[in-house]
Amino acid sequence: MDIILAIGSFCAFVFAYLIFNKANKELPDKILFYWMILMAVNLLVAVFTIKSGYPWKSILAILAAALYVAHFPFLYIYTKSLTAFDFKMTCKQLLHFTPFVLMIVDSLPLLLLSMEQQKQIANTIEKIPWYFIFAELILIVTFIYYIFRTTKLLQKNKQVIKDTFSYEERVDLAWLRHIVIAFISLLLLTIVVFALSDMHLFSVKVTDEVLYLGLAVIVFYIGYWGLKQRKIFYNFEPQLVEDENLTILEKDKIEKSGTEQSAKKSETDTMLEPLLHLMKEEKPYLDPELNIVTLSAKLNMHPHKLSKLINSQLHQNFFDFINKYRIEEFNNLALDAEHKQYSILAIAYDAGFNSKASFNRIFKNITGHTPSQYIKEKNLHSDSKLL
């Protein structure tokens, strides 16, 4: 096992080096750099724990367990740095690492024991000390709290994406949801192993082995995707032309009277016509990375107002609004004789999509058919008319 952990630690250091040398680093990259260092040190300490004798074995085991708990606050902080517009790393954020300190303090009674007593506790299958149980409780509570908060952030981000972007790749953070699932699975497995050790089937140290082996696997996934990830709202400040105090995510808290609502409705109707005209004549949806700020700039409109316009008048979010135009464009191109020689994916790219997976998913959601089924049915229908 120590070889696997050593490889995992080495890879974490490599990922940290690559992230450190990444061009145009943003705050999330810096946070991920320190998280990768934490992972590398955590796995390295676990290796030395296996190789060392007492009392160093106990000291290193305590440090390794405390470092492991710190991964969950890091997951939350990293996710927040990617999804929040104005997130800043302040001293207040360091309070999230209180469980790390609690783990150290909780383990002090173990260090007060003699080497023989420490060795006996580590290898026994009889009675598990209370501070071991308390350490597991710290781990579980920290895990539940930060996994829950991270999940809430990812859910909120998913809705924001729908109101802001016309694509999902690199902004939906699906890989972080996979990390959450991986940590949940690993913790459940650890609880099972801990319960079995409490039933005297094997020693309590097996629990730690499961934790660190799981972490070694997770390191590769986080390092790979984290290296590719960019801040979702990188350079995403709108070019405001009016209502400069509003932001794209601010809620409209102004209560309007009946007269004001009527006037607003008339204004909204007037604003809708230029939007539909722009979509028809200029086809901005052909830009695969179109977002609501880019489109609002073309209309000389605040992104907040454009979002409300699409939601209230067209009863759609920005994502669906744009992609329905792309599907229509794809259908027109696919049935055009000049595009018969092109593949379905090539036509999809011409229509404004930027990946095969998202195109297939969106097409099926909107039309109820796969692209190939749709084209086949349309061609058959066209041939029957000729007959």
Query: Using one digit for the tens of pLDDT, what is the confidence trace for 316-357?
Result: 999 999 999 999 999 999 888 787 788 999 999 999 999 898
CATH number at residue 127: 1.20.1070.10
pLDDT at 249: 44
Say yes or no to pLDDT of 26 above 50: yes
- The pair of structure tokens assigned to 374 is 């749709």
Q: Cis before residue 129, ω within 30 degrees of 0?
A: no
Number of structural domains (the chain) is 2
Q: How confident is the model at residue 235 (pLDDT cuts 50, 70, 90)?
A: very low
Q: Is residue 259 part of a domain?
A: no
Query: Is the model more confident about 45 or about 383?
Result: 45
Query: Is the model more confident about 128 or about 275?
Result: 275
Tell whether 31 and 171 lie within a shared domain.
yes
Q: How confident is the model at residue 59 (pLDDT cuts 50, 70, 90)?
A: confident
Tell whether 283 and 356 lie within a shared domain.
yes
Contact 371, 344 (CB under 8 A): yes
Domain boundary among 228, 261, 277: 228
Contacts of residue 379, Cβ cutoff 8 Å, sequence gap at least 6: 335
Residue 291: strand, helix, or coil: strand
Tell whether 299 and 352 lie within a shared domain.
yes
Mean pLDDT within 51-78: 87
Kindly tell me the sign of the dihedral angle through the C-alpha atoms of 301, 304, 305, 307: positive
Query: Using one digit for the tens of pLDDT, what is the confidence trace for 260-275?
Result: 444 455 555 577 899 9
Residue 17: CB atoms within 10 A of its CB come to 13
Tell whether 166 and 110 lie within a shared domain.
yes
- pTM beyond 0.75: the answer is yes
Contact 132, 80 (CB under 8 A): no
Contact 96, 178 (CB under 8 A): no
End-to-end CA distance of the chain: 71
Tell whether 9 and 157 lie within a shared domain.
yes
Tell whether 220 and 276 lie within a shared domain.
no
Contact 212, 47 (CB under 8 A): no
Say yes or no to pLDDT of 248 above 80: no
Q: How confident is the model at residue 38 (pLDDT cuts 50, 70, 90)?
A: very high
Query: Is the model more confident about 121 or about 184?
Result: 184
Q: Cis before residue 55, ω within 30 degrees of 0?
A: yes
Contact 125, 197 (CB under 8 A): yes
Kindly tell me the sign of the dihedral angle through the C-alpha atoms of 32, 171, 303, 237: positive
Strand locations in the chain, DSSP E?
A: none
Contacts of residue 89, Cβ cutoff 8 Å, sequence gap at least 6: 27, 30, 31, 77, 81
pLDDT at 341: 83
pLDDT at 268: 56
What domain range is 55 assigned to? Answer: 2-228
Tell me the CA distances in angstroms from 101 to 49, 62, 81, 93, 328, one per residue in order.
19, 11, 23, 14, 57
Q: How confident is the model at residue 204 (pLDDT cuts 50, 70, 90)?
A: low
Domain boundary among 211, 228, 245: 228
Amino acid at 171: V
Say yes or no to pLDDT of 365 above 50: yes
Tell whether 301 and 365 lie within a shared domain.
yes
CATH number at residue 363: 1.10.10.60
Tell whether 91 and 164 lie within a shared domain.
yes
> What span, in angstroms and rounded, lies between the C-alpha atoms of 294 and 306?
11
Tell whether 33 and 134 lie within a shared domain.
yes
Amino acid at 160: V
